[in-house]
Amino acid sequence: MSTATHAHEHHGDHGHSAAHDHHGPPAGITRWLYTTNHKDIGTMYLWFACFMFFLGGTMALGIRAELFQPGLQFFDPEFFNSLTTVHGLVMIFGAIMPAFVGFANWLVPLQVGAADMAFPRMNNWSFWLLIPAALLLIGSFFVPGGAAASGWTLYPPLSIQQGIAVDFTILAIHLLGASSIMGSINIITTILNMRAPGMTLMKMPLFVWTWLITAYLLIAVMPVLAGAVTMLLTDRHFGTSFFNAAGGGDPTMFLHIFWFFGHPEVYVMILPAFGIISQIIPAFARKPLFGYASMVYATASIAILSFIVWGHHMFTVGMPAAGNLFFMYATMLIAVPTGVKVFNWISTMWKGEMTFETPMLFAIGFLCLFTIGGFSGLVLAIVPVDITLHNTYYVVAHFHYVLVSGALFAIIGGVYFWLPKWSGKMYNEGLGKLHFWLSMIGFNVLFFPQHFLGLAGMPRRIPDYALQFAEWNMWSSIGAFVFGFSQLIFLYNVITTIRSGKPAQQKQWEGADSLEWTHLPTPMPYHTFETAPVIR
Amino acid sequence: MRHEKQGMRHGVENPPVDPKRRRGAIISALALAGMALGIYLVVMMKFFVYK
C-alpha cells in the first residue's frame, strides 16, 4: 500500500490550501451541537472518550485502592461490584470504542480522499446519542440499590434480580448500539462509495481497511447484544423467563448470545488498533508496510474467526467435549493471522531507518505487550487450563494486556502521531517520552503480577482476599496509581499543544505517506478534498 | 432548499455529492440497516418459540 501512496501525485486543483478555506467553522456552542463536519465530530468523539477514560480510570483506582490491602478499606462489597461493572462498561463502550470512532471520523474521509462522511447528519446523531447513554450509565450510581453490579457481562440471574440501575444500563446499551450501528453504516458507505478516483480498495491505508472490517463486525454483532438485553428487560418486567431458571428459562442461553456478541466485540476494540499501528510503524521505520495484502487478509481472517470462538468464554458451563474441543482449536487458529500481523510489523522495522519518537515508542510498546496478551490468551484457550484459571486474576491480566497495552496504547500512539496534523501544532516530545515510560512501567507493575495472583487462585470481582495474595496486590495497586496519574501528563501535553504548541510541518513525520500527510496543508482547512484528488 | 438554508445558518454546508455516489451510498446504507435489523429480528425470534 505504501508504495502505492508514494506514487500519489498532486494534480493541480484537488488539493485544498488554506486560502481556499472560504467557509470555516461557525463560532460558539452551535458549531458543536449542529456540526456535520467529520473533523468536528471526530474531535467530539475523542474528547468524549477522553472524559470517559478518566472517569473509568478513577473507578479503576478506587478498585485498586480497595485491593491495596486485604480486608475492607473504603467500599462495601456491593459498591465494589458496581465499580467493577461500570468500570468495564465505561471503558469498553464509553472510552475505547468512541475513541476509535473518533479516529475513523477524522481519518477515513481524509485517507480515501472524500470531502466528508457519506451521511454527515447521521454522523452528528451518532455522536449525540452517546451523551444520554453516558448519563444513564453514570446516573445509575445514584438510583436506589446503586449501579449494576453483575459484571459488564450482565449475566442472569444477578442482572434479573438487581434494581432499576440494570434498566438504566440496558437502555444505555441500546443507545450505544444504535450509535455504533449508525456510525458503522456511515463508515462502510463512505469507504465503498466516496473514495477518490484511483483509490482502489487495495491502495487504501491499513487503518481504513481495518475500520471497514470492524464496521461490518459491529453491524453483525450489536443487534445480537440488543436482542439479549431486550429479552433481559422482558424477563425483568414483563413476566417472561428466557433466562430465568426459576421460570423454566436458561441462564446459559444468555451466555451463548452474549458471547456471540462479546468475542467479536473484542476484535472491534483491537482491529482499529492494528490499523493505527500499521500506519505508525512504517512512518518511523521509513519503509513501506511489509506484506500489505497479507495484512488485509489477516484482518479479514481474524474477523471471520471471531464469530466461531465464543464458547471459550464459557468452558466451565459444561459443554459437550466436542464443543469444548471445537472452541479450543478455533480459538488457537486466531493466533495464525495475528502472528502474520506481528511478523509483518517486525519485518517492516527490519533494516528500517528507525527513529523513536513518542508514537513509535507506543507502537513498540503495543507490539511487545499485546503479544504477551495474545500468548496468555492462547494459554486460556486450552480447556483444562481454562477450567482452572476461569474467573481468576489471570483472566483480568490477560484482557488488560490486550485492551490497555493493545487498544489504549494504539489510541495514545495514534493521538501523538496525528495531533500535529489535527491541531497544526507539535506536542512536547520530552513530555511524550516521559508519559510513555511511566505508562510502560506503571502498566507492567499493575498487570503483570495479576498473572501470579490468578495462577495462585485469586478470584476476580472480590473486594477482600486471603493474606497469601497481599504482596502482589500491593504491587499491582502501586502500578495502578503510577499508570493512572501518568495519564495526566498526556492530558496536559495535549491541552498545551492545542493552546500553545509550536507550529507543525505539513509532513511532520518523514515516512508518513497517506493522503492527509501528502496532500493537505498543516493546519488543515475546515473542509478538505471538496474536489476529489486523483490517485495514480 | 430548506436544508441548504439551514446549513448556511449553521455554517455547515456540505460539499456537493455526485448523484450516482449519493444513490450508491443510500442503497448501501439501507442494505446495511436491513442487515442489522434482520439480525436483531432473528435473535428476537426466540419470542416466537418461547415456552
- A20-29, A243-252, A328-337: which is most confident: A328-337
Digit-coded pLDDT (tens) for A139-193: 999 999 899 999 999 999 999 999 999 999 999 999 999 999 999 999 999 999 9
Do the beta carbons of residue A490 and residue A438 sit within 8 Å?
no
What would the mean pLDDT of A266-287 be, rounded to a whole number?
97
Nearest chain B residue to A186 by CA: give it. Answer: B29
Query: Using CA atoms, how far apart are residues A51 and A373, in angstroms rounded to an integer?
Result: 26
CB A499: neighbour CB atoms within 10 A?
9
List of chain B residues whose C-beta atoms are within 8 Å of the C-beta of residue A212 = none
Distance CA A357, CA A456 (A): 39
Distance of residue B24 Cα from the nearest chain A Cα, in angstroms: 6
Q: Which residues contact A310 (CB under 8 A, 6 or more apart)?
A: A256, A259, A260, A262, A263, A327
For residue A460, indicate whether it is catalytic.
yes
Nearest residue of chain A to residue B26 (CA atoms): A189
What is the rounded CA–CA span in Å between residue A72 and residue A167? 29
Cβ-defined contact of A189 to B50 (cutoff 8 Å): no
**What's the pLDDT tens digit per position in A471-498?**
999 999 999 999 999 999 999 999 999 9
On whether the CB atoms of residues A327 and A311 are closer than 8 A, the answer is yes
Using 50, 70 and 90 to split pLDDT, how confident is the model at A532?
confident
Residue A439 annotated in active site: no
pLDDT reading at A26 higher than 90: no
Residue A377 φ then ψ, to 5°: -65, -40
Question: For the packed helices A409-423 and A429-455, what is the interaxial angle rounded to 10 degrees?
Answer: 160
Interface contacts A/B by beta carbons within 8 Å: 91
CB-nearest partner of B36 from A36, A181, A530? A181
A466 Ramachandran zone, left/alpha/beta (phi>0; psi -120 to 50): beta
Mean predicted confidence (pLDDT) in A515-530:
91
Is residue A17 scored above 50 in pLDDT? Answer: no
Question: Is A312 an annotated catalytic residue?
Answer: yes
pLDDT at A103: 97
Is the whole model's pTM more than 0.90, yes or no? yes
In the predicted model, is pLDDT for residue B5 greater than 70? Answer: no
Element at A376 (helix H, strand E): helix A358-381
- DSSP-based three-state secondary structure for A443: helix
Q: Which of A40, A235, A265, A513 is flagged as catalytic?
A: A265
Report the pLDDT value the prediction gives residue B47, as an integer from 0 to 100: 80
Sort out which chain A residues have CB atoms less than 8 A from B13's CB and list them.
23
Nearest by CB to B15, from A24, A25, A115: name it.
A115
Instruction: Count Cα atoms within 13 angstroms, Cβ side, for B8.
Output: 5
Q: Give the DSSP H/E element, type plus range, for residue A129.
A: none
Asked if A35 and B43 come within 8 Å (Cβ–Cβ), the reply is no
Number of CB atoms found within 10 A of residue A69's CB? 15
Cell of A141: 450510581
Q: What type of residue is A73?
A: Q
pLDDT tens digits, residue range A70-111? Answer: 999 999 999 999 999 999 999 999 999 999 999 999 999 999
Q: What is the average per-residue pLDDT within A211-240?
A: 95
| Residue A372 pLDDT | 96
A10 vs A372: which has the higher pLDDT: A372
All residues of chain B having their beta carbon less than 8 Å from the beta carbon of residue A220 are: 35, 39
The tens digit of pLDDT for each residue in A283-341 reads: 999 999 999 999 999 999 999 999 999 999 999 998 999 999 999 999 999 999 999 99
Does A313 participate in catalysis according to the annotation? yes
Q: What is the pLDDT of residue B14?
A: 57
Average the pLDDT over A505-515 and give the result: 92
Q: Which residues in chain B (17-46) have CB-CB distances under 8 A to chain A? A: 17, 21, 24-25, 28-29, 32-33, 35-37, 39-40, 42-44, 46
Per-residue pLDDT band for B50 (boundaries 50, 70, 90) equals low
- A246-284 burial, b if ≥16 CB within 10 A, otherwise e? eeebebbebbbbbbbbbbbbbbbbbbbbbbbbbbbbbbb
Q: Give pLDDT tens digits for A112-147.
A: 999 999 999 999 999 999 999 999 999 999 999 899
List helix spans (H) across A408-469.
409-423, 429-455
Contact assignment for B15 to A119 by CB distance below 8 Å: no
Mean pLDDT, rounded, for A464-470? 95
Confidence of residue B15 (pLDDT cuts 50, 70, 90): low
pLDDT value, residue A535: 86
Is A263 an active-site residue? yes
What value does the mean pLDDT take over residues A13-30? 58
Higher pLDDT among residues A243 and B13, named by residue: A243
Mean pLDDT of A228-251: 92
* pLDDT for residue A456 is more than 80: yes
Mean pLDDT of A216-225: 96
Band of the pLDDT at A397, cuts 50, 70, 90? very high
Higher pLDDT among residues A239 and A497, named by residue: A497
| CB A108, CB A187: distance < 8 Å | yes
A30 touches chain B (CB under 8 A): yes
**pLDDT averaged over chain A?**
93
Q: Which residues of A touch B17 (CB under 8 A)?
A: 115, 194
Is A82 considered catalytic here? no
Instruction: For residue A356, give Cα distances in angstroms to A82, A274, A283, B41.
Output: 41, 19, 11, 50
* Distance between CA atoms of residues A216 and B31, nearest Å: 12
